[in-house]
A and B are shown apart, each in its own frame.
Chain A
Amino acid sequence: MSHPQKGKVAAGGKGAAKAKKAAGGKKSENDREDTLQAVILADSFETRFNPFTLETPRCLLPLANTPLIEYTLEFLAMAGVADIFIYCGAHTSAVQSYILSSKWHPSTSAASPFNTLEIVKTTARSVGDALRDLDSRDLITGDFLLVHGDLVSNLPIDEALRNHRERRVKDKNAIMTMILRAGGLGEHRTKAKGITPVFVVDPGKNRCVHYEEMHPLQAHKYVDLDEELLKDHKNIEVRTDLIDCGIDICTPDVLALWAESFDYEVPRRHFLHGVLKDYELNGKTIHTEIVDDRYAARVFNLQSYDSVSKDVLGRWTYPLVPDSNLVAGQSYTFERGSLYKENDVMLARTCKAGKKTVLGKGTSVGAGTVVSNSIIGRDCQIGKNVTIKDAYIWDNVSIGDGSNVERAIIANEAVIGKSCKIQPGALISYKVDISDNTEIKPNQRITRAKRKRDEDSEIEEEEVSSDPSIVGSSGHGYEFRDAEEFSDDDEAAFHSSLIYSTQHLNLSSASISTLSSSISSADEPSGPRSRLSSFTSLSDDGDNEGFHHDAVQGLLDTLHEHGDFDSAKLEFMGLRLSNDATDHQIRRAIAVAFSKHISQLVDGEQKTEASKAAASAFATSGAVQFLKNVALSTGTEEDAVDFLRCLQKDAVNRGSGPLVLAALCQRLYEEEVVGEEAFLRWWEEAEGMGDDEDVEMKRVRGKTGVFVEWLREAESESESGSSEESSDDE
């Protein structure tokens, strides 16, 4: 996998250059400055580009007809990096074969500006794992650049490097410098939408003192600052205007820190947040280099794919623009109004190829067709009277006469029939075939990829049959849905759509999708968390998606296999500690796991009755104990109510939700996990909402009504009413 080519090609020249630099007055620094190393994280460990990334790694997706990693490598070449390590996870072989056939690999191409380029395959499941792996390999000898494989930038980093080194000479604890691009206070298309990174910076020292991520659905719209910070720093800037392009200048200490903190997964909201929080402990400082000229941005989701594409066409990334023909074989020319055209493009006389448009080689555009603000790849066949607007069409696509494509992405070798209508936000993946006169609805994602079922690793891959209701009678493809665990987390809500809109999310307080979509934020600040009292705020509650996923998975496995809950509990508590999960998150995870398991049994082939299914779940050894000790660890009524609410919320998603909920409630009562007071209070709170209550939520708890009634009767015999602590309901 690795291709060590130590200093073969450019060593002499670079060496000479370095010698000169050393003479330039930097002799004080030791020899580890001799070459600049860079680590590219070619795998994002995310699924934001699904369904495209099912078949292609993100770094090879074309941006303005050039694979993303080309931009990253150009940036590194511009910076004069000598040694490159490319970390790949999924699709390693695709990345490898691409790099080997590109101009970048020193062993296969004389054009490579790098001394060495090593492709490292990892089994890592997160950035953190990859960096810990890197640490264990001892490849890094000095300061290095850490970038993502989706970086587009034309920044000269010499100055940032120099500042970094100066700081480093003064203070060994200055371990990292982040390069951030100022994005202005107003709206900006390239700024991260949805999730806003908040950097708290001491402007005098360029030091980042706190980091947090916020999102619009968060109820808790505060940044919690340690008061120590205000004492220690005279000036503090809280900045939300920065475009985080993910360029970090790191010292090897950074890797050591990653290695120490085995639970960090993501560079920003885990690592950065964590290291800054632990400043008192480890004394490490992280600095910022805020630049306000030139360009730097990451293509980290579909919306940024859209905005960075526009930036490239608008030449903000100059010289990384199509007419620079960065990849061998490209022949783009620029025409006023940002029309980039390659050789051998066939345009019918009456077609209009408008502004901000890219047309790849061998593409033909039929008569009467209008193309505007779009990127069209190579060898595409565009029929007559087609309208293409704001669309991204990759290579070898054919679009039939009279079709209409707006704001969509159509991947390689897709076929769109005649008179089709592709609505905004549609994502049409590789080789999908849409038959004539079909309408693709907004935000629909269509793929032909074999579905991987890694959540229940029983079936490796399965071919999915086409869905004629979506792709038309003779089409090929089916609608892509995220794995269930992810369907209700933030990633889907914010990142998986081409068009960013909070509209469907705001609506959400009345719709299913948001109630169940609990949006994850950064690690919750350690400060007090409150306001869990109302249903709406519940859905807005912060959550840790990684924790949730892993926890639910673990519990489900135990339930499926009728395993031992004692070991599950150990694992679960480990997860909890490592993710710093709140009690509420724990309850939610447990609720989801149980209700999912039961509903699977109910909806599954055996068609088990809900009550039997619930009984079998509770019969798993230690399950009751687990629920009592973990889910309701404090034993208070509040917790029990919260747990019930989580159950209810989750049941909304289940086909047999009402039944499952009722069965579960009954079981919980019988096993004395949840007391009757809690049931009654939960019920009354729900009833108390009146018309404010969501229709679905109401529907779901319908079946439970009988049980509650029974409870009430039983209770009224002994006691009257239930005490209700009023909390600030809306």
Chain B
Amino acid sequence: MPSSQAGYAPNLGFYLKSLKAQPVESSIENLISLLKRRQITNSRPCAVATAHLLLQVVAKFRWTNVNKLIERIQDVGRRLIEAQPREMVVGNIVRRVLGMVRDEAKEDRNDDASDSASNSQMGSPHQEHSDQGTSHLGGPPPSFSPLRFSTTEDSDSTEANGDDVFGGKPQTASRPPLITSHTSYAPAGGLPPQKSMFQLLSANPSPASTPSGAQSPHNTSSLNATSLSHRITTSSKDLKAEVIEGIEEIVDELDQADDRIAAQSLEYIHSNEVILTHSSSKSVQKFLLEAAKKRKFTVIIAESYPNDHEATHKSVTRSISTDAEGADELSTPKFSKSLSDAGITVILMTDATIFAIMSRVNKVILATHAVIANGGLIAAAGARIIAKAARVHRTPVIVVSGVYKLSPQYPFEFESLIEYGDPGNIVRYQDGALVENLEVDNPVYDYVPPDLVDLYITNIGAHAPSYLYRIVADHYKAEDINFDKPELQ
């Protein structure tokens, strides 16, 4: 595990810092190398890195045609996925960005079609809005802090963010309240009003946004050649802004997923329950902590030897861990400390005793590495034992996972998703006889089939495993699902 303390070893923190200064191509290659070398591992860091990289790709890519942009993102995505196919979130983020671009482009095309009609009629009333909105785009690209793990109420921050960058845009305001801002581009009930509002915007580029700063041809409804080309540039500029905004929303979603999941905890954790969890995960931690604010309960932690036990032990012994930046998801600082501080009884035990203790457990809460479209999940090794034991004892198994971990892919061979790590975690390399004579396998992940899971809690609510396909359909476009494998399309 690369430490985030002083040192030269690159990690997520270094990478994000280097993004702006580097040319895009080296950033891409850099991320590929980091993924290959496992210097960025686990779902959240991979997702954050991918999202920020795509942001740069979109921001620095000059395109005239949306298809070019889609191709570009596909190309980058393909390379990233190839670099580390087992980090499925990378593909997820790429697909979501692609889906979003497609949505925006579709709206854009609709604009073009209705342009001349809407232009003269609806232009003037919204002039001021578009003035505000587009003037930002002419200036420097919107700045954002990639590592802003906002602790404020997420809806607030999102809106604040939207106001900041794209002040007064009707689109933001018109978002249907039922759908969270992160999934705004998903085809949902709120689409028609959005579309019409967006038309108003992009059909009325203000003079301020044109590079030449010359006359504004849209005051007249005549469509001469210059105005047409002018509109293409402006619309692509708008589109770019939209896409960037969309990616930023994904980044925000990544930041806030845990909080949103935690917010639902009181519905699932009751007083005096005994909860079993596995290794140490930030999502689970927040989930439990949130519940502990109101309720008292017991948590049993299986240490998850040999890959995560140190992180788990550390959390139990309260030693200070690395700070959150760049630290991977599964090693969480002050896990037990805050749990016990919050009044929870914490029991640490080995994985081997899971079955013995399962009869006393009321609920199992699992963290996950990736969720597959069929409702199964890829989680830290040992998860399947727990799920299986829970099934025998009819203990409910709850999986907490951000939607970003949900992958549309449905691999036929689950074995290929399981990464085999360093056998040195199991057998010391010093033991020459063991090294020479044994094959030491250290699978890092387990595949848990969907029938062993009772409930998924995501940042957009709770779902049965059989319902996940709907969420997949909401979040990914069918044409993007296998974009990295042309032979399957």
Chain A 3-39 interface mask (CB, 8 Å, partner B; 1/0): 0000001111111110011001110000000001000
Chain B 1-26 interface mask (CB, 8 Å, partner A; 1/0): 01101111110011001111111011
Q: Is B32 an interface residue (CB 8 A)?
A: yes
Complex contact B30–A314 (CB within 8 A): no
Q: Is B156 an interface residue (CB 8 A)?
A: no
In angstroms, Cα B13 to Cα A157, docked, is 18
Complex contact B37–A80 (CB within 8 A): no
Q: With A79-B9, A80-B7 known to touch, is A315 a contact of B17 (CB < 8 Å)?
A: no
Q: Is B433 an interface residue (CB 8 A)?
A: yes
Query: Main SS of chain A's interface residues?
Result: loop
Complex contact A80–B9 (CB within 8 A): yes
Q: Is A113 an interface residue (CB 8 A)?
A: yes
Minimum CB–CB distance from A566 to chain B (whole Å) comes to: 55
Chain B, residue nearest A154 (CB) = B422
Which residue among B429, B432, B441 has the maximum number of chain A CB atoms within 10 Å of its CB?
B429
Minimum CB–CB distance from B148 to chain A (whole Å) comes to: 16
Complex contact A16–B21 (CB within 8 A): yes
Chain A, residue nearest B419 (CB) = A334
Bin chain B's interface residue count. 35 or more
Chain A, residue nearest B421 (CB) = A318
B residues near A319, Cβ cutoff 8 Å: 36-38
Chain A, residue nearest B25 (CB) = A110
B residues near A12, Cβ cutoff 8 Å: 18, 20-22
In angstroms, Cα B36 to Cα A314, docked, is 18
Q: Is B424 an interface residue (CB 8 A)?
A: yes
Minimum CB–CB distance from A587 to chain B (whole Å) comes to: 41
Which of A225-233, A292-300, A447-455, A602-610 forms part of the interface with chain B?
Answer: A292-300
In angstroms, Cα B440 to Cα A356, docked, is 12
Complex contact A316–B8 (CB within 8 A): no
Complex contact A103–B421 (CB within 8 A): no
Q: Is B160 an interface residue (CB 8 A)?
A: no
Complex contact B432–A338 (CB within 8 A): no
Chain A, residue nearest B432 (CB) = A188
Which residue among A14, A15, A187 has the maximum number of chain B CB atoms within 10 Å of its CB?
A14
Complex partner residue of B435 from A78, A189, A324, CB under 8 angstroms: A189
B residues near A295, Cβ cutoff 8 Å: 422, 424, 429
Complex contact A187–B420 (CB within 8 A): no
Minimum CB–CB distance from A172 to chain B (whole Å) comes to: 21
Q: Is B436 an interface residue (CB 8 A)?
A: yes
A residues near B429, Cβ cutoff 8 Å: 181, 183-184, 292-293, 295, 316
Chain B, residue nearest A17 (CB) = B14
Complex partner residue of A78 from B39, B415, B423, B424, CB under 8 angstroms: B39
Q: Is A325 an interface residue (CB 8 A)?
A: yes
Q: Is B33 an interface residue (CB 8 A)?
A: yes
Complex contact A111–B6 (CB within 8 A): no
Q: Which of A47-90 contact B (CB under 8 A)?
A: 74, 77-82
A residues near B3, Cβ cutoff 8 Å: 156, 158
Q: With A77-B33, A80-B9 known to touch, is A315 a contact of B18 (CB < 8 Å)?
A: no
Complex partner residue of A314 from B17, B37, B421, B439, CB under 8 angstroms: B439
Complex contact B23–A78 (CB within 8 A): no
Q: Is A168 an interface residue (CB 8 A)?
A: no
Complex contact B441–A78 (CB within 8 A): no
Q: Which of B422-449 contact A (CB under 8 A)?
A: 422-424, 428-433, 435-436, 439-442
In angstroms, Cα B6 to Cα A158, docked, is 8
Minimum CB–CB distance from B2 to chain A (whole Å) comes to: 7
Minimum CB–CB distance from B147 to chain A (whole Å) comes to: 12
Q: Is A186 an interface residue (CB 8 A)?
A: yes
A residues near B30, Cβ cutoff 8 Å: 10, 111, 113
Minimum CB–CB distance from B9 to chain A (whole Å) comes to: 5
Complex contact A17–B17 (CB within 8 A): yes
Complex contact B7–A20 (CB within 8 A): no
Q: With A111-B30, A161-B7, A318-B421 known to touch, is A183 a contact of B430 (CB < 8 Å)?
A: yes
Complex contact A24–B37 (CB within 8 A): no
Minimum CB–CB distance from A355 to chain B (whole Å) comes to: 7
B residues near A186, Cβ cutoff 8 Å: 431-433
In angstroms, Cα B423 to Cα A154, docked, is 13
A residues near B422, Cβ cutoff 8 Å: 154, 294-295, 315-316, 318
Complex contact B424–A316 (CB within 8 A): yes
Q: Is B416 an interface residue (CB 8 A)?
A: yes
Complex partner residue of B430 from A9, A36, A78, A188, CB under 8 angstroms: A188
- Chain A residues proximal to chain B, CB less than 8 Å: 9-17, 20-21, 24-26, 36, 74, 77-82, 103, 109-113, 154, 156-159, 161-162, 181-191, 241, 292-295, 311, 314-316, 318-320, 324-326, 333-338, 355-356
Known: A24-B6, A187-B433, A295-B422. 16 other contacts (CB 8 A): A17-B10, A20-B13, A78-B37, A109-B29, A111-B26, A161-B7, A184-B428, A292-B430, A315-B420, A315-B421, A319-B37, A325-B83, A334-B420, A335-B415, A336-B415, A337-B439
- Chain B residues proximal to chain A, CB less than 8 Å: 2-3, 5-10, 13-14, 17-23, 25-26, 28-30, 32-33, 36-39, 82-83, 415-416, 420-424, 428-433, 435-436, 439-442
Can you list 7 A-B contacts with CB-CB less than 8 angstroms, sorted by A residue number? A15-B21, A110-B29, A113-B10, A157-B9, A158-B9, A183-B430, A315-B420
Minimum-distance CB pairs A-B, first 9: A13-B18, A80-B8, A12-B21, A184-B430, A188-B432, A111-B29, A158-B7, A110-B25, A318-B422
